[in-house]
Amino acid sequence: MKQLPHKTIARLSQYRRSLLMCYANGKNHIYSHEIAKIQHITAVQVRRDIMLIGYTGTLRKGYNIKELIDIISKIIDSKDVIKVCVVGVGNLGRAMVNYFSGKRTKLSIVACFDTDPNKINKKVTGVKCYSVDDMKKIIKQKNIKIGIMTVPADKASETADKLVSAGIKGILNYTPKPVYVPKDVFLEEYDMITSLEKVAFFVKTHIER
Amino acid sequence: MKQLPHKTIARLSQYRRSLLMCYANGKNHIYSHEIAKIQHITAVQVRRDIMLIGYTGTLRKGYNIKELIDIISKIIDSKDVIKVCVVGVGNLGRAMVNYFSGKRTKLSIVACFDTDPNKINKKVTGVKCYSVDDMKKIIKQKNIKIGIMTVPADKASETADKLVSAGIKGILNYTPKPVYVPKDVFLEEYDMITSLEKVAFFVKTHIER
DNA sequence: AGATTATTGTTAATAAAATAACAATAATAC
DNA sequence: GTATTATTGTTATTTTATTAACAATAATCT
């Protein structure tokens, strides 16, 4: 299959989540416009994405939810479990671990790291916390491929460097500080302040105009 | 000024943050390619954004950091403080409150809400926690304009409804469940699972190919 | 059975975003 | 003082993403 657009990948992940909920509720088929409504996008967009992954629905009946879930999973899930670690066990780090525990079979948070002796060797929602000093060792040992950064901003660069040198292949940076990684490491940065400021901007223009 | 692209707004917020750090470090001027490097984008993109907001730098000296910060602030900040609340004082909610306390002068988290009696009437990093039952009252009383949703997924829709009926104008939804709001309410949804799955997808294609 | 409707799949058109190209020119080098 | 270099600002081009248009057809209606 040709390369899928980044945006499509992100939407497929979201479709799957909604589809899983629908399926859990006993629903078997779904129309493009129903998916669209859930995701706040257009039905054409949905059909186009589904076309791109090569699945076809049934005319007048819509898409078979189970089948669609399986197709999407085949595309976005890896064959084997990909292991993930969380660096920085603050509120955000705990939220991540919590949020994930047992949700995805193909993605598994297997370790977290912190500098606080009170946290080291304790468990966070079933995930053991190690010292950041052992990061490289543990990451190699457990073959962890993705690192989620939830450390304070001033530790961002050094954390990224450590992750990279330990052989991590993907980083999700939740600190407000952009980091540098070699180009064979996939980097996704998300910053809550920016999101809030974006909302504020639109609220402001709505209020002030 | 003509309408700025959404993407530009988001980038301006990020530029400002980087600029503030540079300024704090005693730097006075900065080149487009320096900003670009920090943000992992191209210098042209930076110059184009800055062009759009009508600021001009100095040839061969770059942009005056202080001035640029001020111009960006004039654009993205509101005249008066916009008040924000956080609904759901779990790990993520606490992370949000923490993260924000005192960072932005024009955006202020002034309340949070929860259902847990152990949390109600306590303070979270200086922000008082109220019962969700009083949400409407407090939001109106304090003239809160933006709501950050960090509740469990199964409370998402009802929380959004409450926020809307209380007169909120912007919602930042951090639950994994998309919600519906009238179109005069600005909605931004972010979902950590999707982000992680996106990273995983690229890591997978990198590993498996 | 024939007409109508609702829905998919796909191509074409449009819009948005990013990148390239390059003229202008201040600073620096020689 | 002239040439070279580095940098901005802006227009043009390309790429990416979204939306519109519509043919095909299964299901339903009359």
List pLDDT tens digits, range A175-192. 999 999 998 999 999 999
Structure confidence at residue A209 as a pLDDT band (50, 70, 90): low
Check residue B208 and give its pLDDT: 78
Check residue A3 and give its pLDDT: 83
A135 and A108 in contact (C-beta within 8 Å)? no
- The C1' atom of D18 and the CA atom of A50 lie apart, in whole Å, by 15
What are A46's two structure tokens?
């949905």
Sign of CA dihedral B195, B198, B202, B205: positive
Lowest mean pLDDT among A42-56, A89-103, A128-142, B138-152: A89-103
Per-residue pLDDT tens over the stretch B102-119: 777 799 999 999 999 999
B36 and B46 in contact (C-beta within 8 Å)? yes
Mutate to test the interface with A, among B163, B196, B205, B206 (most CBs of A within 10 A): B196
- Residue B42, Cβ neighbours under 10 Å: how many? 13
Per-residue pLDDT tens over the stretch B53-102: 999 999 999 999 999 999 999 999 999 999 999 999 999 999 999 988 87
Q: What average pLDDT does the structure give for chain B?
A: 95
Is the pLDDT at B138 greater than 70, yes or no? yes
- The C1' atom of D28 and the CA atom of A163 lie apart, in whole Å, by 60
- Distance, in Å, from the CA atom of B90 to the CA atom of A91, rounded to the nearest integer, reads 8
Tell me where in chain B the CATH 1.10.10.10 domain(s) lie. Answer: 6-74
Give bridge partners of residue B147 from the DSSP assignment: B85, B171
First-last CA distance in chain B: 48
Share of chain B above pLDDT 90, in %: 92
Under DSSP, is residue B167 helix (H, G, I), strand (E, B) or coil?
coil
Is the pLDDT at A121 greater than 80, yes or no? yes
Question: Chain A closest CA to B171's CA: distance in Å?
Answer: 7
- The C1' atom of C14 and the CA atom of A57 lie apart, in whole Å, by 27
Q: What average pLDDT does the structure give for chain A?
A: 95
Q: Which CATH class is domain B6-74?
A: mainly alpha
CB contact under 8 A, B9 and A91: no
Check residue A101 and give its pLDDT: 80
A155 and A88 in contact (C-beta within 8 Å)? yes
Locus of tokens 């994405």: A49
Under DSSP, is residue B12 helix (H, G, I), strand (E, B) or coil?
helix
Check residue B1 and give its pLDDT: 59
Helix (H) or strand (E) holding B82: strand B82-87
Residues 6+ away with beta carbon under 8 Å from B37: none
Surface-to-core class of residue A35, CB atoms within 10 Å of its CB (0-12 exposed, 13-18 middle, 19+ buried) = buried
Tell me where in chain A the CATH 1.10.10.10 domain(s) lie. Answer: 6-75
Give, in degrees to the nearest 5, the angle at Cα A196 between A195 and A200: 120
Is the pLDDT at A196 greater than 70, yes or no? yes
All residues of chain A having their beta carbon less than 8 Å from the beta carbon of residue B170 are 199-200, 202-203
Among B17, B177, B197, beta carbon nearest to A193: B17
All residues of chain A having their beta carbon less than 8 Å from the beta carbon of residue B9 are 197-198, 201
Question: Chain A closest CA to B20's CA: distance in Å?
Answer: 12
- How confident is the model over A160-176, as a mean pLDDT? 97
- The C1' atom of D24 and the CA atom of A58 lie apart, in whole Å, by 13
Nearest nucleotide (C1') to alpha carbon of A3:
D16
| Strand C contact with A31 (CB < 7 A) | yes
Distances (CA, A) of B130 to B53, B120, B137: 40, 5, 10
Is the pLDDT at B143 greater than 70, yes or no? yes
Tell me where in chain B the CATH 3.40.50.720 domain(s) lie. Answer: 82-193
Is the pLDDT at B209 greater than 80, yes or no? no
Give the residue ranges of DSSP H helices in chain B: 6-24, 32-39, 43-52, 65-76, 91-100, 135-142, 156-165, 192-208
Check residue A188 and give its pLDDT: 96
Nucleotide C19, nearest residue via CA and C1': B44
Question: Chain B closest CA to A134's CA: distance in Å?
Answer: 23
B130 and B154 in contact (C-beta within 8 Å)? no
- Distance, in Å, from the CA atom of B102 to the CA atom of B122, rounded to the nearest integer, reads 19
CB contact under 8 A, B90 and A95: yes
B173 and B156 in contact (C-beta within 8 Å)? yes
Lowest mean pLDDT among A82-86, A201-205, B154-158: A201-205
Check residue B100 and give its pLDDT: 85
Sign of CA dihedral B52, B65, A199, A188: positive
- How confident is the model over A81-97, as a mean pLDDT? 97
The better pLDDT of the pair A206, B176 is held by B176
- How confident is the model over A128-138, as a mean pLDDT? 98
- How confident is the model over A121-142, as a mean pLDDT? 97
Is the pLDDT at B183 greater than 90, yes or no? no
Share of chain A above pLDDT 70, in %: 99
Share of chain A above pLDDT 90, in %: 92
B191 and B156 in contact (C-beta within 8 Å)? no
Strand D bases with any atom < 7 A from protein Cβ: 6-11, 16-21, 24-27
CATH for A82-193, options being 3.40.630.30, 3.40.50.720, 3.40.50.800, 3.40.50.970: 3.40.50.720
**In terms of CA atoms, which chain A residue is nearest residue B154?**
A21
Residues 6+ away with beta carbon under 8 Å from A43: A31, A32, A33, A35, A36
- Distance, in Å, from the CA atom of A109 to the CA atom of A86, rounded to the nearest integer, reads 7
CATH topology of domain A6-75: Arc Repressor Mutant, subunit A (1.10.10)
- Distance, in Å, from the CA atom of A109 to the CA atom of A154, rounded to the nearest integer, reads 24
